[in-house]
Amino acid sequence: MPMWFHKFLIMAKTNYQTIDEYISSLPDDVQNVLNMIRKAIREVIPDAEETISYQIPTFKPNGKYIIYFAGWKNHISVYPKPRGNNALKKELSKYKGGKGTVQFPLKKPIPVSLIKKIVKYRIKENSAMIKKK
């Protein structure tokens, strides 16, 4: 299990069953942003299953986890951060994050188009991994 998920599990206090349940547990301003992100992801992968994994929302097109997101006090996190794409790397360099996450501050506009690019990249990345197997 990635370290950033382990950190989150230690802090998790509730056993969420749905994305709606997760989002509704957060303050209104965070709910609005998470719903916007959810909609953006849904636009890229409309047939993906919505589920909870590691106690945060995730999307699974074709049964594979592609993208996770979570609301925090001062930011929204998107997991995992794409690697190996220099164009995305440059855009993501404006934001804090760790090895596997990117953080978008709540006090600034959320870059919805960048989140869509991340999702598209993750789909390509996942497809490439499947082809290698």
Domain architecture of the chain: domains with CATH = 3-132 (3.90.1150.200)
User: What contacts 71, CB < 8 A, 6 or more positions away?
Assistant: 23, 26, 30, 31, 33, 34
pLDDT number for residue 3: 43
Give Rg (Cα) of the chain: 14
Give the DSSP H/E element, type plus range, for residue 78. strand 75-79
Structure tokens at 116: 């869509």
pLDDT band at 9 (very low <50, low <70, confident <90, very high): very low
The number of angstroms, rounded, from the C-alpha of 3 to the middle of its chain's C-alpha atoms is 16
Q: Could you tell me the pLDDT band of residue 129, with boundaries at 50, 70 and 90?
A: low
Give phi and psi for 71, each to the nearest 5.
-100, 140
Q: What is the pLDDT of residue 112?
A: 96
Residue 76: strand pairing partners:
71, 104
Helix (H) or strand (E) holding 53: strand 49-53
Alpha carbons 32 and 3: distance in angstroms, whole number: 28
Alpha-carbon distance 111 to 102, whole Å?
12
pLDDT digits 0-9 by tens, 76-93: 999 988 777 777 888 898
Least confident of 26-35, 61-70, 104-113, 118-127: 118-127
Q: Output the pTM of the full model.
A: 0.82
